[in-house]
Amino acid sequence: MRGPHNIIRLIRTGATFERTGAMKIVLDAFDAGPLLWITLRALVWPFQWLGYKGDLSMPPATRALTALGPAYIKFGQVLSTRPDVVGDDMAQQLRVLQDQLPPFSMDKAKATIARELGASAEDLFTTFSEPVAAASLAQVHKAHLADTGEAVAVKILRPGIEKAFRKDIDAFYFAARTIEFLSPASRRLRPMDVITHFEGIVMGELDLRLESSAAAEFAVNTDGDDGFQVPRIRWHLSSRRVMTLDWAAGDSIGDNAALDAAGHDRSVLATRVLQLFLNHALRDGYFHGDMHQGNLKVAENGDIIAYDFGIMGRIDEYTRRVYAEILFGFIRKDYQRVAEVHFEAGYVPADQDVDEFARALRAVGEPIFGMDASHISMARLLSYLFEVTERFGMETRTELILLQRTMVVVEGVARSLDPHMNIWQVAKPVVESYIKQSIGPKALLRDLGKTAMILSRFGPQLPRLAEEALIRRNNPIPPQRPTTAREQFRWMALGGVLVGCGIWLGTLF
């Protein structure tokens, strides 16, 4: 940790928002009170000369985030899918962060290809376009293969992106430590674990070989999903900093005008994108963790095409069942069962009152049923949920962070397609189907079968294990006194002598 550097980095963050004019816009978007607004302005204003100027052609919020670097851009990408949280104007400003950032030069792109793939772009491709999309970590070019003429997308990491991200993550760690020190109450949210989780995701995204592998696995899992496509990876043209895959032809799922012109039913697309995500998360335990508008297209036949597989989420079978029971309880308005599941899973401390927790959950769930999405304020809902979990001492579940965040993003995408969609009605058939498959009698028999198969592997060893257990029972080992530090040193010295003798004898033979 580099304390002074990180302090300057955080000060510069606030100064950049002030210098670009984004401070007031962001605080207004989050409905910050006048006291907080005045306090922050007073703290930041003297240091605004430290802030980055940014690209003057961009709107204030976008200008500030792009000037601050890739980690801040990632944060802005998430907010761009939540017009109900930040407002329509802010969401529209942030939309350009998904795939419309300034690209790096063609010379650098071709140099990376030559270095990574061992051949020039001219030898590998008959055409190689200017960047068609540029995001926070990489940019994409459209090309045609020299041997087959097929259209492909070539994704190339930004030069020096690893160092830039490391600087941002280092500052985030410092901020998390500071928050935990100054606010003990915040420790239940485990800020350090959250940043560690975020770091793991991002560092995996900076190795395109891992992204290629994720895309291949995701394609196998979703091969039978109607209305969904995953582009094929071209492994011989992929490496750590370059990834080549089939070209995804279609309209951006965020371009409503283009979708309408093509004759697509946006309400059907909204339902499909939400149900696909739930199927992938619950059925497979492996889901696309970055399903914003910039990573989804709609093909001419109406299929949804997903790409950019740098962030993928994985949850185990037990967690999926817990998550499904919680969702199903909300759908059935069985808040008592939802509360019990939280306690059974250890999400809420056992010393809390389960009935009081159920009553608090009812206050969260009831207002959202029977209403369409346009009347639900997700900002107020999340705010109240935070208050409830804080009151009952519920800790942040780091294994569910990506799942929860992606659910918010996917809902935002669906809502942009159909503002009147009720997420609970759309989710109900998927969750009910999973419940029947994973929690009913068939699931119990399947679990017992798996357990029997595991135990059967130890069949040949059972006689020996039983004999050893009987011997230990009839001849218990007497308790040993703890060894002293001097004795431990003697044994370590003897071990070193034996190892040295072994090495010496090895040289003789």
Q: Which residues are catalytic?
A: 290
Contact by Cβ (8 Å): 377, 84: yes
**Tokens of residue 184, six digits:** 């003990």
Contact by Cβ (8 Å): 374, 88: no
Phi, psi of 296, rounded to the nearest 5 degrees? -135, 135
Q: How far apart are CA 156 and CA 94, in angstroms?
A: 23
**Tokens of residue 505, six digits:** 């004898």
Full DSSP string of 306-317: E---SSEEE--H
| β-pair partners for 297 | 252, 305
**Tokens of residue 38, six digits:** 């005045």
**Tokens of residue 219, six digits:** 């394609």
Q: Residue 43 is which amino acid?
A: L
CA 433 to chain centre: 25
**Tokens of residue 395, six digits:** 């800790």
Total residue count of the chain as it appears in this document: 509
Contact by Cβ (8 Å): 40, 17: no
**Tokens of residue 316, six digits:** 């185990």
* Of 20, 29, 19, 18, residue with least CA distance to 89: 29
Cβ–Cβ contacts within 10 Å for residue 353, how many? 13
Q: Residue 140 is which amino acid?
A: V
**Tokens of residue 103, six digits:** 């690209």
Q: CB neighbours of 464 closer than 8 A, spacing ≥ 6? A: none
CA 200 to chain centre: 10
| β-pair partners for 142 | 153
Cβ–Cβ contacts within 10 Å for residue 84, how many? 20
- How much of the chain is helix, strand and coil, in % rounded to 5? 65, 10, 25
Q: How far apart are CA 192 and CA 195, in angstroms?
A: 5
Helix (H) or strand (E) segment spanning residue 496:
helix 485-508
* Of 262, 243, 350, 246, residue with least CA distance to 302: 262
